[in-house]
Amino acid sequence: MRYADAGVRLDLADAVTERITTRLGSALFGGMVPVPRLRDFRDPVLISSMDGIGTKVRLAARLGACGGLGQDIVHHCVNDIAVHGATPLFFLDYLAFHSLMPEIIDEVVEGIAGACEALGIAFAGGETAEMPGVYAHGAFDVAGAIVGVAERDGIVDGSGMQVGDTLLGLPSSGLHTNGYSLVQRVFSDNEYRTYDLLLGAPLGAVLLTPHRCYLPEIRALLDGGAVRGFAHITGGGIAGNLARIVPDGLVADVSLPSPVPPIYRLLHARGVPWDEMHAVFNMGIGLIAVCDPAVGVPDGWIALGSVRRAVHGTRKVMIHDRD
């Protein structure tokens, strides 16, 4: 009885590790990141996040198009800490498979390395695991961890928010990495490759558009004026994510641009009620900033409304859409 009889191929694992290692800054197990920038901080706080990209991996595998998954995981993680005002330092990945698929590993790792390089983040390594019996046949998962740094008094968390602050939004590039289990219940396999008139592209291509990175826009806004807080719109939608940074006694009054992008109208037309749409998807807005009104509406941002005083019993986020 050998390891290979149990579905684990050590020689393949070694070959994969070697290929991945050539993309890393360090050949050691522990990713080492010198942090000269830390010395520029008076009172540094490390800010980190771990995340996955959910069942978007299943759709990508089904369509044989895994090239965007690297950007998905890196950008998702970067956004999650950038909203607190952090500068990302390094990223680690976790890839796990029913059976190692070297081509997919190459594609995902290339994507991760490219996304990290574009953002000036060190790709510090990670783990690739072969776990027959845990993953379904032909399935795999992609997760990542990001670590960044912020000045303690530069952390933004919504705490300075007040009545009259404005809500600014940035468009999402699509569903990003949320709601893909629902999406794959709504659509059937033969629909993904077909050109869709409403979408102006094949459905599969629209759904696999990589998660947008908001780091440059967040840095620019922080440099330019009084920002109270940011919300990265992920699972839970606009209301679920924005509510986390709205202090008690205030309400964020959001008016969504109309109409919402075609993919959301298509999902609704295929039977997902609007309330469920709002609870699951970003509805075309991937990031919301709450700012002093003096910030105005910088290029690329969308005015979404403002903060008002809460009336007893009101939820922290009210969403008005005109669809």
Among candidate residues 290, 293, 173, the one with its CA nearest the CA of residue 241: 290
Q: Min. distance of Cβ 303 from its own copies in angstroms? A: 25
303/323 with CB nearer its own copies: 323
Nearer to its own copies, 133 or 313 (CB): 133
Neighbours of 202 (CB within 10 A): 16
The tokens for 116 are 């990290």
133 binds its own copies, rule: CB under 8 A: yes
Query: E strands of 56-184, at which residues?
Result: 87-97, 122-130, 140-151, 166-171
Q: What residues between 169 and 228 interact with its own copies by CB under 8 A?
A: 179, 181-182, 184-186
Q: Which parts of 234-293 interact with its own copies (CB under 8 A)?
A: 235-236, 244, 270-273, 276, 279-280
Cis peptide before 298 (omega within 30 of 0): no
Q: Is 108 an interacting residue with respect to its own copies (CB under 8 A)?
A: no
**From 29, 103, 153, 190, residue interacting with its own copies (rule: CB under 8 A):** 29
Cα–Cα distances in angstroms (integers) from residue 57 to residues 52, 179, 314, in the given order: 10, 12, 38
- Angle, to 10 degrees, between the axis of helix 56-63 and the axis of helix 69-82? 160
Structure tokens at 213: 């990175």
Angle formed at CA 296 by CA 291 and CA 297, multiple of 5 degrees: 100
Size, binding site for its own copies by CB under 8 A? 82
Is 58 a binder of its own copies (CB under 8 A)?
Answer: yes
Q: Which is nearer to its own copies, 60 or 304 (CB)?
A: 60
Comparing CB distances to its own copies, the nearer of 1 and 197 is 1
Is residue 12 at the binding interface for its own copies, with CB under 8 A as the rule?
no
In the complex, the smallest distance separating the C-beta of residue 34 from its own copies, rounded to whole angstroms, is 5
Instruction: Please enumerate in sequence order all residues whose Cβ is within 8 A of that of 271, keeping only pairs 6 or more positions apart, or say none.
Output: 186
Q: Is 48 in the site for its own copies (CB under 8 A)?
A: yes
Token pair of 220, please?
């620019």
**Applying CB under 8 A, does 63 fall inside the site for its own copies?**
no
Which residue in 12, 24, 65, 96 binds its own copies (CB under 8 A)? Answer: 96
Cβ at position 227, least distance to its own copies in Å: 16
Q: Name the one range near its own copies by CB under 8 A: 80-88, 256-264, 289-297, 314-322.
A: 80-88
- Is 303 a binder of its own copies (CB under 8 A)? no
135 binds its own copies (CB under 8 A): yes
Examine residue 151 and tell whether it contacts its own copies (CB under 8 A): no
Q: How far apart are CA 25 and CA 32, in angstroms?
A: 8
Angle between helix 102-119 and helix 69-82 axes, rounded to 10 deg:
40
